[in-house]
Structure 1
């Protein structure tokens, strides 16, 4: 049976498409503008030998003098950004031919993010004007926002005003805003899916679909409210941002470790390959992926500033320990009695929901 979409459903689809296009255009066009224009604006650019061979730990600003430790911490931001494929994975359920398009979307996402991220880092490092001034607590960003300081120094040195730097920072902040929308959308999708399976408290409320816009508005508002509540302390304490980033990354990356490890130890006769199959390369790839996730989760638990004080301590291990304890207690005393796994919501026999 085929269903013709109503005018309201078409409107909702168009609005979603416009929002998605605005997000992608801001990310791509804004990113290309920063990557191309910033080195051209800079009065002087660093040499290739400086960019690719100079190693700096900046112990005065970070308190870290160990080069191996600095290398471990240096990959945290790239790890966090690379996991943007998570959104593509979430949306595969509503994608036609997801067994093929899903893996293609995930790999494409990783490839695009890698290219743009590498180009962005190169644009910033080539455009450094005064390296020692970047971490000076008396500079325009108090030595804490190095990328913003690089952009400011480039425009200030060329034009003797900061207007261009403000424009570039607005582009970056706009990208953050649209990324926030994407994260909220993806989170609401997960909340809706879990509530549809009765997997979270008050599930009937979060899985309710708006009669006009055909979206789980309650789930969206829940995710937005949680984001606001978690974000408010960041206005006062920088350490909260570090903890939130660490907890989020460990949470969703660690979630992928479970099926990867299960696939690693699973007997091959119990597995039916799909069209996207790794063949003989599967087990080495599973092992590398699992070990990489373990490394990533461990690195996000480490302090990023020394000496360790209340305002520099990484509270992610404590927060994760508390959340895991509460979840396990909830499971042991309540959830295991009623949660039976995913709920089938499609009539396979008749082929319609």
Structure 2
């Protein structure tokens, strides 16, 4: 989506920083208030609704109040899911445009009338829907798939931050000019960020308790290794011959 932002090198990092700190402060306020209002942790965890915050609301509000506040919470969740799908579709389109996916020509096609990647959007929606259906047949299988989320994110963060650190130390002259910079603190923050994501990546593969059952086991390590192997095979047989990204400069065509 940064390709559609004017002067993205300056304003995208600013938006990320403000979004992070703004949401962090608001989340801290909500968590502190929630903890002060929580009468019993075991009762909240074992509530029949499956959502501890609904248990807390029920202790102090009427049914109408609980329904109203729950709706206020659910509406942003619904809209955020739309944003997540839009982001995923744009990433799918960009990766296909750079010929990093099978059937890249078809997936990266932009509708000439709507001026959006309709096929990439449809593919993202279809995959999300199919993954959601797994929960109907087996919650264990569904949790195993979604548990990959944290590990995959931490791995991609580690790779990207490592590349930046390497460039800053080994060959800083190869880095493009920066429109937004952390100055002398940049490298230190990069190193601290890398240590954090490596720590999170390591613990994301562990089960929540010793001697877990098949239902309580953390299957993300198995799925992560499987996806990693498939990705290596795709790169070996297709990507290294066809992948031409990432695109550095994009010019709009009217």
Give the structure-2-normalised TM-score. Answer: 0.87
Instruction: State the Cα distance separating 1:110 from its structure 2 match.
Output: 0.3
Aligned length: 251
Structure 1 counterpart of 2:17: 107
Of 261, 280, 296, 2:162 maps to 261
Q: Does 1:140 align with 2:53?
A: no
Instruction: State the Cα distance separating 1:294 from its structure 2 match.
Output: 0.9
Specify every segment of 5 or more residues in structure 1 that has no aligned partner in the other structure, as ranges: 1-90
Asked if the contact 2:106/2:119 (under 8 Å) is kept, the reply is yes
Of 130, 133, 147, 1:232 maps to 133
CA distance in 2, matches of 1:287, 1:308: 34
Of 8, 12, 19, 1:98 maps to 8
Give the root-mean-square deviation of aligned CA atoms: 2.4
Of 187, 193, 216, 1:283 maps to 187
Of 223, 227, 233, 1:319 maps to 223
Specify every segment of 5 or more residues in structure 2 that has no aligned partner in the other structure, as ranges: none
CA distance in 2, matches of 1:321, 1:163: 47
Of 106, 109, 122, 2:32 maps to 122
Of 321, 324, 328, 2:232 maps to 328
CA distance in 2, matches of 1:343, 1:100: 18
Of 92, 97, 109, 1:191 maps to 92
Instruction: State the Cα distance separating 1:236 from its structure 2 match.
Output: 5.2
Structure 2 counterpart of 1:174: 75
Asked if the contact 1:234/1:240 (under 8 Å) is kept, the reply is yes
Structure 2 counterpart of 1:149: 55
Instruction: State the Cα distance separating 1:116 from its structure 2 match.
Output: 2.0
Asked if the contact 1:254/1:293 (under 8 Å) is kept, the reply is yes
- Output one character per residue of 1:252-304: Cα deviation in whole Å (capped at 9) or x when no partner: 33223223112212222333441312232222111101111111222222223
Structure 1 counterpart of 2:103: 202
CA distance in 1, matches of 2:113, 2:244: 32
CA distance in 2, matches of 1:186, 1:101: 18
Structure 2 counterpart of 1:309: 213
How is 1:2-21 mapped onto 2 (pairs within 5 angstroms)?
A: none
* Higher alpha-carbon Rg: 1
Of 245, 249, 252, 2:153 maps to 252
Asked if the contact 1:208/1:216 (under 8 Å) is kept, the reply is yes
Instruction: State the Cα distance separating 1:154 from its structure 2 match.
Output: 2.7
Asked if the contact 2:92/2:120 (under 8 Å) is kept, the reply is yes
Distance 1:234 1:169, change over 3 A: farther
